[in-house]
Every structure is written in structure tokens, then in C-alpha cells.
Amino acid sequence: MLAIPAIDLMGGKAVRLSEGDPRRATIYADDPRAALRDFLAAGARRVHVVDLDGAFAGRPVQTDLIRELVAIAHAGGAEIEVGGGLRDAAAVLAVLDTRADYAVVGTLAVREHRTVAELCRQHPGRIIVAIDARDGLVALDGWQERSAVPALALAKSAAIWGAAALLHTDIARDGLQVGPAIDATAGIQRAVPSTLVIASGGVGSLADLDALRAADIRAVVLGRALYEGSFTLEEALARC
């Protein structure tokens, strides 16, 4: 199982939100570059970066900083996936132009699915579709709006488009360390066996990683648990 540490950017700092609420942000690092270097030193092979300012603004905001983080990650031999505010094709291309390995799209995949299908075709292996769900329905616009689209339906469509991976986040668990949505994530993986499904949200212990692995989930994003010291990235990598 691939363990992917997360760096969420807000105001140029590394933060974590609870349930995606910008009013419930905890600052963990004044310099995200230092946080990234720590992850690389621990052995990270991929890092997940979210432009939270961009997610709430509806357009990329921290592109210059992301470009720096991409360069640091690549120098350390790691891949980097970037999301947040990618609401049109131009924004996705701007992220790919930073040399990020993957661009993560969420709202765009629901509102302009033909655009995302074409992006998957034009940039094979570089588009990750985020399935941000609450009660099984996909949320949009930085998790502020709930759609009527079932998470499983979006997963099946994205697999047909040729998405490089699916990032499944249970919003109600995100940042709370209450345990991941194992059944829901595993259900999506079973529905699209040829597409990598990445679990996100709720991981709070090494036992959670064991449970994800036992459910045949092949990748997981780690956030607050690392920053709060629930376990180290080295420990997570050893369990994965």
C-alpha cells in the first residue's frame, strides 16, 4: 500500500482542516518546504498537495509555491499530486505546467465531465479524479455544496475516462482521526478493479492502515495523524 503524506496550503502555510471547514484550520508548518523535505527524508515516494486557497477561490492561488514544492519533490526522487481550485482545463494545464506528476480534479469532473474525459485522453496517467463524498454523494466547490451524484457513479465514469487514479475522501471523517471509510473505499475499488483508488480522511492510527491494507486498498493519504504525532511516516511506510 502506498502511503502518501499530505500538505494542505493556506496562506503560504501548511495546515489541516476539520471536515473541510476553513474556520477550523490548524497551522502545522510556517514553511511547507520544510515539511516536504521532512517527508522526503522519511522515505515518501509520493506527496499530496492541496491549494486550499484555490479550492475556496475556485482557481489556483499558490502556483508559484507549488512549483517550488514540485522541484523539491523531484529532487528527492518523489512524485507529487496537486489539487485545489482546478475548475477548468486552463487551471489543470497550469498545474501540469509546474511539472507536477498528477493534477487532481473534483468539481470539474461533475460539472464538465467531457472536459475531464478529454484531459485524461490528452494527458494519460496524469489526471486523478477526486471523489469527495458525504453520505455517499459527491461534494463540490471546496466541499461547500453537495451534489446529487453518487460517489460510485462518478468512480465508474472516471475509470472509463482513463483517470490515473481516484481519490476517495469521506468528508465527515477528514481531519478527525476517527478511522477511514474502509467499506466505502473498498466498495469503489471493487467496482473499478483496474483503477487505483486512494483512501483519504479519518486515518488516526497504525491499526487503521492495517485495516485498509486488509481490505485490499492500495494507497492512502495521511494528514493530521502525521502532524499530531499519532505515528511517524517511517512507521506508516513500514506498515504499508
- Residue 38: active-site member: no
Grid cell listed for 124 = 494519460
C-beta neighbour count of 121 within 10 angstroms? 11
Nearest to 207 by CA among 168, 170, 180, 185: 180
- Residue 132: active-site member: yes
Catalytic residue among 51, 53, 101, 132: 132
Assess contact for 53 and 11: CB atoms under 8 A: yes
Rounded distance between C-alpha atoms, residue 31 and residue 233, angstroms:
18
Residues in the chain: 240
Catalytic residue among 8, 53, 170, 174: 8
Nearest to 18 by CA among 173, 142, 133: 173
Helix (H, G, I), strand (E, B) or coil at 58: coil
Q: Which residues form the catalytic set? A: 8, 132
